[in-house]
Amino acid sequence: MDHADEEEAFELLWIVLAGLAENESAPEDVRERVADFARPGPIHQPGAADESAPRTEREIPEERLLELAADEDTRMDIAEREHLSPAVLDLLVTTALSRDWDAHLIAYGLAPRRELSEDTRAELLDLMDDTPGSFPTGLLRTPELEWLRLAPLGERLPYAASPAWIMRATVASSPGLPGPVAATLWEDRDLRVAAEARLHPSTPREYIADILLRYELPISAWRFARHPSFPAEILPRLAGSGPPHRRFAAGCRALDPALIIALTEDPDGEVVAAAARNPSLPVPYMYSLLTRAGR
């Protein structure tokens, strides 16, 4: 084994030990022996949005807000303010659609806002989608969209046909949807909307299997793995091959011991971490990992 391989093996072993520190089924002495590997704070899954702290906004005169909204050093902060006048909002939208260097970041702050027309919202989202690496599913978890997710059903349903994918996805994640509306959203033209719709607890198992096996969903795979209708029979296919996000989803489920052990040896760090955290990881194997690490 050359030096690079040794470093990679050491790094993956470190990830396994960090996972063991978070494994709720690990014996107390195992967790004590790897306690220094535990990450501080709550455990977050890839793609899981953090809870946003309540924001308090100081009063700023309208004239000053317009100045700040025009300044490239401050306009992103202004775009995320809870209360904006029509004039300030119009200035920010115009700036974003002009495709200046930070346009997609301004769009990220503006897109969830209730005040926007659906056509303007769709334009902003198109701008974000044009930016490499800007797959903005985290936007769905922002407090700014709670107005729609928690709105009375009659107010929500028209947004199921919005030209802006984020609005359709928000409706798809909301409770109490009529069956025909949910079924339409399962087959939405935008995969982000279809994924959010299929994550609903009432989604039939065949839709869960279909979206995991047919599509690339690295951000949402772990959420599908925890779905109450997750089809256990596809676990060997997920664990055995394919892109890392499928193996990661398998590692989040209770598996046959041989499969979960194999996933702790995966070349992908996220897969290894998921397997090491999995409560079905055999306890004797946990001790063998400690021995290998000299713990």
Other CB atoms closer than 10 Å to residue 10's CB: what's the count? 11
Computed from CA positions of residues 222, 224, 229, 231, in that sequence, does the dihedral angle turn out positive or negative?
Answer: negative
Q: Give the span between the Cα atoms of 119 and 130, in whole angstroms.
A: 17
Which has the higher per-residue pLDDT, 237 or 143?
A: 237
pLDDT at residue 78 greater than cutoff 80: yes
At residue 199's C-alpha, the angle toward residues 214 and 223, to 5°, is: 80
Matching residue, tokens 């317009």:
66
Q: Give the span between the Cα atoms of 230 and 207, in whole angstroms.
A: 9
Kindly tell me the burial class for residue 90, based on how many C-beta atoms sit within 10 Å of its own C-beta (0-12, 13-18, 19 or more). Answer: middle
Computed from CA positions of residues 125, 130, 131, 132, in that sequence, does the dihedral angle turn out positive or negative?
Answer: positive
Q: Give the span between the Cα atoms of 15 and 275, in whole angstroms.
A: 10
> What is residue 55's predicted lDDT score, i.e. its pLDDT?
46
In tens, the pLDDT along 107-164 reads: 878 888 888 888 898 888 887 765 444 444 556 666 778 889 889 999 999 999 998 8
> What is residue 164's predicted lDDT score, i.e. its pLDDT?
86
In tens, the pLDDT along 179-212 reads: 899 999 999 988 888 888 888 888 888 888 888 8
In tens, the pLDDT along 208-232 reads: 888 888 776 666 677 888 888 889 8
Q: Are 16 and 264 in contact (CB under 8 A)?
A: yes
